[in-house]
Amino acid sequence: MCNDHHGLEQARNLAAAAGSPLNRRLFLGGAAAAAVGGFALLTAGPAAAATSQNGWPASTTLPLSTLTVGAVTFPQGVRSGAPHTILGYVARRFNNEVETLRKGECWGYNFRTISGSSSYSNHASGTAIDVNAPEHFLGASGTFSAAQVRAIRSILAACDGVVRWGGDYSTRKDEMHFELNRGPSDPAVAALARKLGGSSSTPAPAPTSPTWRVVRRGQQGYYVVALQRLLRQHGRTLTVDGVFGSGTEAQVIGFQRSRGLVADGIVGAKTWTALQVTRQEGSRGHAVFGIQHCVSVKGFRTTQDGIFGPGTKSVVIAFQRSKGLAADGVVGPRTWAALVA
């Protein structure tokens, strides 16, 4: 767990920039919290008026939602609504693009004050997460490679200034730490949550059709393996080598003709939809090999034996959670589309 010394830095920044009503309120809130004193009072007393450094209510009775990404469930979750959507997005992309999250090394909501201060940590409002804490410990800098930092920058850029990384603190770094740095009434928070597919206050909206990767001759990779396995599942004869050559193309065209699809050899949404088959615990065969290959490549390792057993089911559930899909362990069109994405 980070010690959130940076909350103090944030308070100073807010004091310096106390031009806006939000910033003034935040700073006064911090000062009031400091005035009432120590940790015992904060945990024992009424917390209704308290806010953490970023202006979100800090209390022992917050609405919290479970946050599970990959193999990790963040203890106590994070604040429901927009913070859950936004921090979940950050954690999923971190897990997929920066570093696999590790069990027991990630933290979310925690009702506590900042170390060395009586102000509330942003963890106390459920609006901050720590990821792989032991490797990126408080005060250390340079714990990520240049490529990892580029990936973190890409995630932050997608968050439109709403998320701040502890590695960007000007004084003592906290590279494990990501937090919302806008208050609950800032319209940028709700706008970002909507953009990321959640709502500012309610669960995700009605699902739309899955988006499928378009695959054609000349490509290679795990998604071509999945394609070749699905073609085999439909009784077509070809080598499963992950390379989309002329042999694979001929089989795609044959499959498309058999289904009355445009026979162009290009695998888009219509062809994928016709190819995919629902698979679940107890299933066996080529499609299961394809599922096991894709989840393994994406960091959810499982035995690739073509048998959909309990182990495959658990990694499928973990994969579904990481993508914000219904985590039921059943591989249908949405999960297939995410597997080959």
Interface residues with Zn ion (CB under 5 A) are 2, 130, 177
Residue 215 DSSP SS3: strand
Helix and strand element counts for the chain (H, E): 12, 7
Give least dist CB 137 to Zn ion, A.
11
Give least dist CB 120 to Zn ion, A.
12
Nearest residue to the partner Zn ion, using Cβ: 2
| Separation of alpha carbons 44 and 162, rounded Å | 32
Smaller CB separation from Zn ion, 132 or 320: 132
Cα Rg, the chain, nearest whole Å: 24
H-helix segments, 184-332? 187-195, 222-233, 246-258, 269-275, 286-297, 310-322
Smaller CB separation from Zn ion, 177 or 323: 177
Smaller CB separation from Zn ion, 114 or 331: 114
Smaller CB separation from Zn ion, 130 or 249: 130
Give least dist CB 130 to Zn ion, A.
4
Smaller CB separation from Zn ion, 130 or 175: 130
Give least dist CB 110 to Zn ion, A.
9
Give least dist CB 181 to Zn ion, A.
13
